[in-house]
Chain A
Amino acid sequence: MRYREDNIMDDNVMDNNIMNEQLLGTEESRLPKVIVVDQPYTDKFPLDEALKKGTLFPNLYDPYMVGKKY
C-alpha cells in the first residue's frame, strides 16, 4: 500500500514537470513569453496632434528613431 501511494505521488510530480515543461520550456529551449503592461488612462494629445502622431495617448507614443537605443 505504501509503495502504491509513493507511485501516485511520483506520477503527480512527473505530470507537473511535464506541464511545466510544456508551459515554460526547458533550460535548453525556453518558449517565448509575452508580457503586456496595463495602460493607465492619463492624458491625451490634442486631436490634431493625435492624428499626426498616430495615437491619442502620449504613453503609447514611441516612434522609431534612427540612432535611438531600444
Chain B
Amino acid sequence: MMENNNENYGKANTENLSYEDLLLEIQKLEFATVDLNLFLDTHPDNQMALNDYNMYTVELSKLKKEYRLRFGPFANFGSAPSKYPWQWVESPWPWEV
C-alpha cells in the first residue's frame, strides 16, 4: 500500500527554506521522532525503527541548528545561549507564523 518512504532526509537543501517552511520541516521531524520514541518504548530491539529514529534525529538536530543560526533560539529557554539583547522576544508570536 505504502512505499517505505524515508524522503531522503539529510540530502535535501534546506538553506533556502523560508522561516515558515523551515519551521514546518522541524515540526514534521519532531512529530516523526516522538512517534518513533513511543514505538521504541515498547519495541526497544527493533533495529529498523531505531535506524529511522536516528536518521530523523540527526536531520532534526541539523535543522534546529540552522534555525538557530538564521532566526534565533528555537525554544524560550534551554536550547541555546542568547545574543544581547534577549533574542527570544524578537521571534514571531505563534499566530504571526
A44 in complex: contacting residue of B5, B27, B29, CB < 8 Å: B5
Interface size in chain B (residues, C-beta < 8 A): 22
CA distance A19 to B24 in the complex (A): 54
Residues of B within 8 A of A51 (CB): 27-28, 31
Interface size on A, residues (CB 8 A): 14
CA distance A41 to B47 in the complex (A): 10
Task: State whether the Cβ of A28 lies closer than 8 Å to any Cβ in chain B.
Answer: no
Query: B39–A43 contact, CB under 8 A?
Result: no
Complex interface: chain B residues within 8 A of A58 (CB): 1-2
Tell me whether B22 is interfacial, beta carbon within 8 Å: no
How far in angstroms is the closest Cβ of chain A from B27? 6
Tell whether A39 is near chain B: CB-to-CB under 8 Å: yes
Name the 9 nearest CB pairs between A and B, nearest first. A56-B35, A47-B28, A43-B2, A46-B5, A51-B31, A41-B49, A51-B28, A47-B32, A43-B4
25 A/B residue pairs, CB under 8 Å, sorted by A: A39-B42, A41-B39, A41-B48, A41-B49, A44-B2, A44-B5, A44-B6, A44-B32, A44-B52, A45-B2, A46-B5, A47-B31, A48-B24, A48-B28, A50-B28, A50-B31, A51-B28, A51-B31, A55-B35, A56-B35, A56-B36, A57-B35, A57-B39, A58-B1, A58-B2
